[in-house]
């Protein structure tokens, strides 16, 4: 198969949502259709009989939530699909924001009863900033929930999307009879049997036919005809160009747990979703069809195999072919590296690949060379943009609870921070280590992983910090900056890249400091140069 046709058959997307909307369950069912797994595992809290394939960390299995993005790949109808299943919990949002730099499109999962939730709004906002094509999947239709039209209105208003339904429910909750597939003009009747691999679909090209009444009863048939007439009158017709530009969002209905409505979503997705897209670097726009390889690290995961203490850097291939055992330039370090065992993923199962194409995600074994945002190329100095660190929301001192294991503790902290799990700051005044996170649950994850993966124990102490601000002085030699460093010495720290950071204990003190030192800029993200 030629290089261009390999690019054209790839679809790389992320699945995003608020926690508990059914994101990981949907991922499982998509894998089921791809023949990648035989029986899907449901995500339930605490007692998990068969864990979800994409939740491979021990803490995820115990809690029944996803705490890290996982990468899964499978083939479906000749198309190579790469899924990035992201954490929904807001405490792990930073991992999700970074993952969105590596996808070409997204599927947003919405719970039929809860509608649009807070975390969904934030994630969709990031997608819209980057013009990422979005498909909406309204899940859990076998439960009582909001009216379909109310949900569509809510999606338009809260998420600022312009939607067009490509499937429509027949009833809901106890009255749920199935789905009319507007895209393919057929009906899928609901049996409630999640074990069935593929539901039966019945072609209905003419909605006025008596066959519809026979299938779902007179009342449901008449209601469906009225609702579909409304859909046609209210919502714009599907236009692929508008969808790819991020101006129109198709909506599907279904029940992932019952394996219902998933095939319709997948069949349409394969047809309309974008193939690998060009990506803007600081130097120029890079197109996937270019012959020379470029790619960037969007995630690092330590200890995917606890027995081997390995670290994997996840690389999204943007252009050209990535070949095994070929030397590539690590742009930041300006040195050539070659990789003897690049991995393709299926959750925790990995296989070595000889050649990968744009759109693919490859895992490279790393001994500490990579940081999030690093670029690999065939020689050109290119830097891809858009993977900043955000100011954390929570700050705590980290203390060593076992003095005999201090080496393991510092190695563990170092590696977990490289993953982007949290951020590490070192106070200028006394060298104490401070960990900043987006959410408080991250502290538990760090503590758990330090103990179970590195054999180290830690305790925390609260630190009253409102925001961490990265400092950009107009001139490092001027008196104002020297005065700032002297007066604010107690509140100054260094991040892992040795950039100077100011800890503001309240919004008021941050505003006062900004007024007092007008020649210094205070940034809430680390990417300002």
* Alpha-carbon radius of gyration of the chain: 25
Between CA 359 and CA 83 the distance in angstroms is 11
pLDDT at 53: 44
Give per-residue burial for 408-444: e unless 16+ CB within 10 Å, then b.
bbebbbebbbbbbbbbbbebbeeeebbbbbbbebbbe
pLDDT at 56: 42
Within 13 Å of residue 496, how many CA atoms lie on the same side as its CB?
A: 18
* Contact assessment for residue 323 and residue 333, using Cβ atoms and an 8 Å cutoff: no
Between CA 444 and CA 95 the distance in angstroms is 16
The neighbour count for residue 292, using CB atoms within 10 Å, is 13
Q: How far apart are the first and last CA of the chain?
A: 42
Between CA 88 and CA 67 the distance in angstroms is 8
Encoded tokens for 420: 């982007």
Q: Is the dihedral of CA 323, 327, 329, 335 positive or negative?
A: positive
User: Rounded to an integer, what is the distance from CA 420 to the centroid of its chain?
Assistant: 13
Q: Is the pTM of this model over 0.85?
A: no
Give backbone dihedrals phi and psi of 371, rounded to 5 degrees, phi first. -125, 160
User: Rounded to an integer, what is the distance from CA 151 to the centroid of its chain?
Assistant: 23
Nearest partner of 41 among 33, 49, 189, judged by Cα = 49
Nearest partner of 132 among 157, 102, 156, judged by Cα = 102
Cβ-based burial of 148 (10 A; exposed 0-12, middle 13-18, buried ≥19):
buried
pLDDT at 189: 77
Between CA 508 and CA 514 the distance in angstroms is 10
How far is CA 386 from each of CA 33, 64, 97, 526, rounded to the nearest angstrom? Answer: 33, 30, 10, 11
pLDDT at 200: 59
Strands 167-170 and 178-181: antiparallel
Profile the chain (529 residues) by mean pLDDT over runs of 10 residues: 88 83 79 60 36 46 45 84 67 63 90 84 80 91 86 92 90 79 80 51 68 78 86 90 92 86 88 91 90 89 56 88 92 90 68 88 84 87 73 88 90 80 88 86 85 89 91 87 91 89 91 91 72
| Domains in the chain, CATH or no CATH each | 3-177+236-272 (3.40.50.300), 280-377 (2.40.30.10), 394-523 (3.30.70.3280)
pLDDT at 38: 44
pLDDT at 257: 83
Nearest partner of 323 among 345, 340, 336, judged by Cα = 340
Task: Return the HEC string of 265-320.
Answer: HHHHHHHHCCCCCCEEECCCEECCCCCCCEEEEEEEEECCCCCCCCEEEEEEEEEC
Within 13 Å of residue 389, how many CA atoms lie on the same side as its CB?
A: 26
């Amino acid at each position: 198969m030629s290089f261009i046709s390999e690019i054209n058959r790839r679809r790389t997307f992320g699945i995003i949502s608020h926690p508990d909307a059914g994101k990981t369950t949907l991922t499982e069912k998509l894998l089921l259709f791809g023949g990648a797994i035989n029986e899907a595992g449901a995500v339930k809290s605490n007692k998990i009989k068969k864990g979800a394939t994409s939740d491979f960390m021990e803490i995820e299995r115990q809690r029944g939530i996803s705490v890290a993005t996982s990468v899964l790949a499978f083939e479906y109808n000749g198309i190579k699909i790469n899924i990035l299943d992201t954490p929904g919990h807001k405490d792990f949002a930073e991992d999700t924001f970074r993952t969105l730099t590596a996808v070409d499109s997204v599927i947003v999962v919405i719970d039929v009863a809860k509608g649009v939730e807070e975390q969904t709004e934030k994630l969709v906002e990031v997608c819209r900033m980057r013009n990422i094509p979005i498909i909406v999947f309204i899940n859990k239709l076998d439960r009582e929930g909001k009216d379909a039209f109310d949900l569509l209105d809510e999606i338009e208003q809260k998420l600022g999307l312009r939607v067009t339904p490509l499937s429509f429910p027949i009833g809901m909750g106890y009255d749920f009879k199935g789905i009319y597939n507007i895209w393919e003009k057929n009906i899928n009747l609901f049996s409630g049997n999640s074990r069935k691999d593929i539901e039966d679909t019945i072609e209905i090209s003419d909605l006025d036919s008596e066959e519809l009444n026979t299938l779902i009863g007179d009342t449901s048939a008449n209601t469906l005809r009225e609702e579909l007439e409304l859909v046609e009158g209210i919502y714009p017709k599907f236009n692929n160009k508008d969808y790819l530009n991020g101006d129109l969002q198709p909506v599907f209905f279904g029940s992932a747990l019952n394996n219902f409505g998933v095939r319709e979503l997948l069949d349409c997705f394969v047809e309309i979703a974008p193939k690998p897209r060009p990506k803007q670097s600081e130097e120029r726009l890079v197109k996937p069809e270019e012959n020379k390889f470029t790619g960037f690290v969007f995630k690092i995961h330590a200890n995917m195999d606890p027995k081997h203490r390995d670290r994997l850097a996840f690389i999204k291939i943007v252009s050209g072919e990535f070949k095994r055992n070929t030397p590539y330039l690590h742009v930041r370090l300006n040195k050539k590296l070659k990789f003897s065992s690049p991995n393709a993923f299926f959750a925790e199962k990995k296989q070595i690949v000889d050649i990968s194409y744009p759109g693919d995600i490859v895992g490279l074994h790393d001994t500490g060379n990579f940081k999030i945002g690093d670029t690999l190329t065939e020689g050109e100095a290119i830097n891809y943009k858009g993977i900043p660190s955000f100011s954390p929301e929570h700050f705590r001192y980290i203390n060593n609870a076992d003095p005999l294991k201090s080496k393991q503790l510092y190695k563990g902290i170092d590696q977990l921070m490289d993953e982007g799990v949290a951020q590490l700051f070192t106070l200028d005044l006394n060298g104490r280590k401070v960990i900043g996170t987006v959410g408080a649950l991250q502290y538990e994850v760090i503590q758990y992983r330090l103990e179970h993966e590195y054999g180290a124990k830690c305790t925390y102490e609260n630190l009253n910090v409102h925001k961490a601000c990265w400092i950009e002085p107009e001139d490092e030699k001027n008196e104002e900056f020297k005065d700032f460093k002297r007066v604010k010495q107690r509140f100054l720290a260094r991040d892992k890249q040795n950039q100077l950071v100011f800890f503001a204990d309240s919004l008021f003190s941050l505003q006062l400091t900004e007024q007092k030192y007008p020649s210094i800029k205070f940034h809430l993200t680390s990417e300002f140069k």
